[in-house]
Structures are given as structure tokens and as C-alpha cells.
Structure 1
Amino acid sequence: MENNTAYKLIDGKFSSEDADSILTALFNYKIDYHQREDFSKHIRFNQDIEHSKKRVLELTETKETIKQLIADSKSNNLNLVIKGEITIQFEKQ
């Protein structure tokens, strides 16, 4: 089994509006995922959720930075070329 596989998630040229829609949905989903996991782990197992809290903060800050890039592209009448890749690796537990 190959140990390192990559898949295209996003690969194209987008208008400001489309880029905003796609990237906002992606970041919102990841933020929501971490918040639900936090709640579940805390309630069910009383586990430490600091990693997820940190990740939510990082994702929120990145989302705001991207929102500014999109606003800049819109005000300058520019499209955005977005390329995103998912890399999956195996490692022993």
C-alpha cells in the first residue's frame, strides 16, 4: 500500500463571489467540526479540548485573512486561482 497519496480538492479559477462561497463553506465546516468534537469529548469523556480550541482559533484567523484577500480581489476586479490538495499518509498507531 502506498504511504503517501494526494488528491485534488480545489483546482481552478474563481470569481471573488465563488471563491468566497467555496472557501467560507470549507472553513466553516472545519470550524464546526472542531466545535462539535470539543463539545462531545468534553461532555462524554471530560477530555482536554485545548488542541481543538487552538485549531478553531487558527481556522478562524485564516478565514478572516482569506476574506480580506477575496475583498481585495473583488475591489481590483480580479479572479482567484485556488489550488488545494489533500495528502493522506499512513502511520502506525
Structure 2
Amino acid sequence: MNNLEKLTLIEGNFTTEEAKEILHNVFMTKIKFHEHKNFSSIERFGKDDATAVNRIPELKKELQRLNEIFVWAQQHHKRLHLSSEIQISFIEE
């Protein structure tokens, strides 16, 4: 294995509605992941997961920004090019 692996998650041109569906699902999945992680931490350890608690509002803010982009694109009759690459690097535990 290489020390850095790259995977293409999203690549292409989309209508505003298609892009909205794709990206909304990605962001909501990450938000739900952190909500579940925090809930699990509270149940198991009696305290919040600091990373999850910090990340949830950041993701919600980005989702709001994303919605503003979609509104603008729709008002201006634009299609959207989305490109998303996942980079995986190996680190010592």
C-alpha cells in the first residue's frame, strides 16, 4: 500500500437539484455520525464527545452555506461541477 491513497467520491456536472441531493446527503450523514458518536459517549462515559460536539455546528454552518450556493445557482440557471476526492494516509496509532 502507498502511504497516501486517493479515491474519487464525486466527479461530474449536475443540475442544482442533483447536486443538492448528493451533497445534502453527504453532510447529513456526517452530522448524524457525530450525533450518534456523541450520544454513545454520553451513554458509555457520562460525558460529551468533544470532537463531535464541535464538529456538528461546523457541519451545519457549512450546510447552510451550501444551501445559499444552491439558491444562487438556481436563480442564475447554473449547473454545478462537483469534484470530491478522499485522501487516506496511514499514521501510527
TM-score (norm 1): 0.95
Name 2:73's counterpart in structure 1. 73
Instruction: State how many pairs are aligned.
Output: 93
Distance in 2, Cα, partners of 1:48 & 1:73 = 38
Distance in 2, Cα, partners of 1:44 & 1:50 = 14
TM-score (norm 2): 0.95
CA deviations 1:1-35 (Å, max 9, x no partner) are 31101100000001000011000000000000000
Runs of 4 or more consecutive aligned structure 1 residues displaced over 4 Å after TM superposition: none
Q: How does 1:4-23 map to 2 (within 5 A)?
A: 4-23=4-23
CA deviations 1:12-68 (Å, max 9, x no partner) are 001000011000000000000000010001111224422211101111000110110
> Are the counterparts in 1 of residues 5 and 89 from structure 2 also a CA contact under 8 Å?
yes
5+ unaligned residues in a row in structure 2: which ranges? none
DSSP 3-state at the match of 1:13: strand
5+ unaligned residues in a row in structure 1: which ranges? none
Residue identity opposite 1:79 in structure 2: R
> Are the counterparts in 1 of residues 11 and 83 from structure 2 also a CA contact under 8 Å?
yes
**What is the alpha-carbon root mean square deviation over aligned residues?**
0.9
